[in-house]
Amino acid sequence: MKVLLRKAALSSIEQIADHIANEVSMPETAMKYTERLIEFGYSLGSYFKAYPLCRSTKLLAQRLHCATFDKKWIFA
């Protein structure tokens, strides 16, 4: 299955990276974490059925699966 990261998702990832780089003052960590987030997102196409259907009624109506990354971020 092909994975598309929407502009909103990429914007959120960018905000996370900006926070880590600027607020926490760890730019290298921000780059590595961003790479891991994007890599995880694209890897979901290979085994998306391993993740449960989303609990949100809006996402469930679309039959989307939700995957948690690092116990903090959810990919649908």
DSSP for 12-36, written as a single string: HHHHHHHIIIIIS--HHHHHHHHHH
Mean per-residue pLDDT for 48-63?
90
| Mean pLDDT, rounded, for 51-64 | 92
Instruction: Quote the longest CA-to-CA distance of the chain.
Output: 40
For the chain, percent of residues with pLDDT exceeding 70: 100
Residue predicted with more confidence, 45 or 30: 30
Per residue in 1-34, pLDDT (tens digit) is 788 889 999 999 999 999 999 999 999 999 999 9
Average pLDDT, whole number, for the chain?
Answer: 92
Rounded to an integer, the average pLDDT of 69-76 is 91
